[in-house]
Amino acid sequence: MRVITGIARGRRLTAPEGLDVRPTTDKVKEGIFSAIQFQIEGAYVLDLFAGSGQMGIEALSRGAKRAVFVDNSQRSIRCVNENLRTTKLERQAEVISRDSYDFIKLTRQAFDIIILDPPYRHDHIAKLLPIAARKLKEGGCVICEYESDMEEPAVPEGLTLRKTYHYGSINVTIFDRPESEADEE
């Protein structure tokens, strides 16, 4: 596992051991970041269920302004912190040891990019997506990674479906919060 491009390009990242963490493959990560490439520069990113932190770190490496990493596993938190040190991106990061549901419900922060890559087989995305939609800035996107045999997440109020990408046993669905029409004039 490595940072694909940007200022930390090529840096090796570690992942916490165990069956509850399933790092995103380079192929899927490259596909996601290609899809959102014009939204990354200066973005405020939330990496929920951070695991190794590789998705938020990739965003920082590509020009995101700040990333918040949330996970309730101490192994994951240690790994995220180690990976941030390795990539020298810790000054742009906030690492929070907390339940992802509690954080997303209670935070007053709004984000440009929200990454939802929870443990599989628990229906987390269906439960979290409507809450995440309310924490998303106009022009922002929510990225949902889930197993391909699961149903595509329903479009939450206020968001539009951009596209679902298929990568073998993994699907990625991206939702956008459109800019208000008053801003477009």
Q: Please state the domain extents for the chain.
A: 26-184
Q: Over range 146-166, report the average pLDDT.
A: 93
Q: Over range 151-168, report the average pLDDT.
A: 93
pTM of the predicted structure, to 2 decimals = 0.92
Starting from the edge strand earliest in sequence, which strands make up the sheet with 66-71, in order? 93-97, 66-71, 44-48, 111-116, 136-147, 170-176, 160-167
- Find the farthest-apart pair of alpha carbons in the chain and give their distance in angstroms, rounded: 51
Q: Over range 25-47, report the average pLDDT.
A: 94
pLDDT band at 184 (very low <50, low <70, confident <90, very high): very low
27 SS3 class: helix
The CATH class given to the 26-184 domain equals alpha beta
pLDDT attached to residue 119: 81
Q: What is the pLDDT of residues 77-88, one digit of tens each?
A: 999 999 999 999
CA distance 38 to 115: 16
Classify 119 in phi/psi space as left (phi over 0), alpha (psi -120 to 50) or beta.
beta
